[in-house]
Amino acid sequence: MTTETPTTKTTSPAPTARRGRSGSLVFVLLFTAGGIYAGMRWHTTFERWLMPSAGGDTAEAASAKESGKPTDGKKQLWTCGMHPQVIQDHPGDCPICHMKLTPLVTGDAGDSGAAAAPEKSAAGGEDRKVKYWWDPMMNPPYISDKPGKSPMGMDLVPVYEDRAQSAGAAVVIDPAVVQNMGVRTAVVIEGPLQQTVRATAILAEPEPGRRDINLRVSGWIQTLYANTDGMAVKKGEPLFDLYSPDLRLAIEELITARKSADRAGLDTGGSLGQTSAALVAAAELRLQTLGLSAEQIAELGGGGMEHAPAVVTFLSPIDGHVVEKANVYNGSAVMAGQLVLRLADRSTMWFEARVPEGSIGRVRVGQRAVARVNALPGRTFEGEVVFVHPHLDEMTRTALVRMAMPNSDGVLRSAMYAIADIDVGSADPVMLIPREAVIDTGERQLVFVSTGKGRFEPRNVAIGLSGEQGLVEVRSGLKVGESVVSSGQFLIDSESRLREAIAKFLAGKSSGGVTAAPAAPMAISPAAQERVDAIVSAYLALAESLGEVQKDATPLKPEGLIASVHALHGEVSGAEGGATRLVSEAAKAAESLTGKPIDQQREAFKRVSAAVIALIDAMPPSPRVAGSLFVLNCPMAKADWVQRKADVANPYYAEDMKECGSVVRPVGGAKGAR
């Protein structure tokens, strides 16, 4: 029996090799980390050597700097670089453009009036007085005379009297900000207003240039020279040869009369000479009546001709081309009164344009016109307006304007398309500014006049006609040489509206928001008070119905509101203080709801709400209608309405945005807090 000795594998060298590689890796990592640390220390030391102030920051200061927290104990505010009106007391995203907010420098915040400035003045250390509180994130800004929260839930920010900007007519903006806004100005100039009316045109041959070759005698066409439609002819060139016995006989009479007159001697003054002269004149008149020209008559009646020719050649009276050729050929018989050829002179062409109704009043006969023909790119044709049609096309609301333009080389053809520019500008000098400088609100036109040093003054102007090169006429409101803002004026207008909102608040000192306090209520009779209560109750019923989520599209029934308003009209008719006017407006607004679908009633309800708010401000309802009433505003709908409760129930939207809105103020003397 053989005993096998177990073979044992030696594995100890392998761990030794792995430990050696691991040690090398650890050494490399430690060396690399040490080098990075040394480099950072050296870089920090070098940075402190270059900028000593950089090395004086403590760890807390560095941490505060990275987080945006101030190191002087003041509260840090955050703003948006694109929308500086957005200011928060915590970092985050801009609610308008969703950019990251940046820390607001204390000095800038104080200058803007939006940040909470220190309560001690920098000059004397005395207490500073708050002028108003506002939320600059709202548009229009929410302004109040006491601290609290805005309808958006933001804390109101104080603006102190020594830092509040004046709300005067001029807007003052830092010159650096003006440069960053890209504001450009233009000088008011004086000069002629260049205006052009552009219209499409179709070319046509002038009607006065057409000539008909119409025979006055019967006969046969021996040879037809102008034998093709569109053929060009020159003045004096032959058109056709006509054989006509009647015409030949008339020529023979002329030749005979001339011979007789020559034998009698016309210079004797005797009776025979006078008779011969009369016969010659009669023969010439007959040939003229038959259609021969004076030159042909003189040639045919000359002394060298013994007998009339067999055929008479008819010549072209104009330069032109054959527009129409009757059904005639060589040898065709023609009758007196028959049209043989129709010629047209194309040395001048008509451009017949259709000018819209809004521009036809500026077009006059004699005005210069320039046209470009589609078939002839690169060429322009100049002429003038020769006719403006007195009638307007009822279907297209355009009028025909005819322009005559020379066509000496004959390249213009009938029925071509063209674009015509009619110069309708005035030669009298007027004030001119760029069109983009004008802010048109629909009710007025506004420009901003730059008075220097970052001051911009809003100015109402009267705008006239618009001209070429982006200029517009200014009839009043400016002077030649003044500078107006031509780019960036909408940003300045936003600042101006902010000042206007602040001015209205400071003038009215309303309890909140920017709405001025209503006037004192009117004194009304008990009967009128009952009518007012009925109006408010009917209105609230409609508002609450619209404020609910609509399950169907059933229209409102405004008959109760209409009847209540008419009943109040009878009670206040003839009263002083504008009560009749308020009731009349409420009646018209209520009647506008009648016979409309629900979506149109929602839009018409804006007018109803405005009329009812004005009515109950002047004639408040009694407490039995509601314990409290509130005026709410929806910036999306741009309208107000009245509710019993402060919880928003928007009546202007069917399903979405039912919570869009905020309380503006109590109304009608009701008690309630915003």
The token pair that represents 603 in the structure block: 């839009």
Partners of residue 641 on adjacent β-strands = 632
CA atoms within 13 A on the CB side of 355: 28
224 three-state secondary structure: strand
Rounded to two decimals, the pTM is 0.44
All structural domains of the chain with their residue ranges: 31-58, 68-164, 184-194+429-490, 196-206+346-424, 216-337, 526-666
The per-residue pLDDT for 526 is 85
Q: Which segments of 467-533 are extended strands (E)?
A: 471-476, 483-487
Q: Which CATH class is domain 196-206+346-424?
A: mainly beta
Q: Please give the pLDDT value at position 504.
A: 53
Confidence of residue 84 (pLDDT cuts 50, 70, 90): low
Please name the fold of domain 184-194+429-490: 2.40.420
Cα 664 to Cα 581: distance, rounded to the nearest angstrom: 25
Query: Residue 529 has which token pair?
Result: 């008070």
Using 50, 70 and 90 to split pLDDT, how confident is the model at 512?
very low
pLDDT in tens, 325-341: 888 899 899 998 889 99
pLDDT tier, 606 (very low <50, low <70, confident <90, very high otherwise): very high
Is the link from the previous residue into 140 a cis peptide, with omega within 30 of 0? yes
Chain-wide mean pLDDT for the chain? 76
Q: In angstroms, rounded to a whole number, what is the distance separating the alpha carbons of residues 450 and 478?
A: 12
Reported for 204-207, long-range contacts at CB under 8 A and 24+ positions apart, including other chains, are: 204/349, 204/350, 204/352, 204/414, 204/415, 205/323, 205/344, 205/345, 205/346, 205/349, 205/350, 205/414, 206/345, 206/348, 206/349, 206/350, 206/404
Neighbours of 170 (CB within 10 A): 15
pLDDT at residue 206, as a whole number: 92
329, two tokens: 């050929």
Asked if the model's pLDDT at residue 395 lies above 60, the reply is: yes
* Residue 9 pLDDT greater than 60, yes or no: no
Q: Which residue has the tokens 């007027």?
A: 430
pLDDT exceeding 90 applies to what percent of the chain? 20
Please tell me the least confidently modeled range out of 41-50, 384-393, 395-404, 624-633: 41-50
Answer whether residue 440 shows pLDDT above 60: yes
Average pLDDT in the 527-553 region? 87
Top pLDDT among 280 and 24 is at 280
**pLDDT value of position 85:** 59
Residue owning tokens 């017949």: 352
Q: Predicted confidence band at 436 (pLDDT cuts at 50, 70, 90)?
A: confident
pLDDT in tens, 241-264: 999 998 888 888 888 888 887 776
Query: Quick one: pLDDT at residue 569?
Result: 79
- Answer with the residue of higher pLDDT: 81 or 475: 475
pLDDT for res 397: 93
Give me the sign of the Cα torsion angle 14, 15, 20, 26.
Answer: positive
Mean pLDDT of 155-166: 63
Whether residue 668 has pLDDT greater than 60 = yes
Average pLDDT estimate for 617-630: 84
> How many whole angstroms separate alpha carbon 607 and alpha carbon 590?
8
Phi then psi dihedrals of residue 189, to 5 deg: -115, 170
Q: How confident is the model at residue 572 (pLDDT cuts 50, 70, 90)?
A: confident
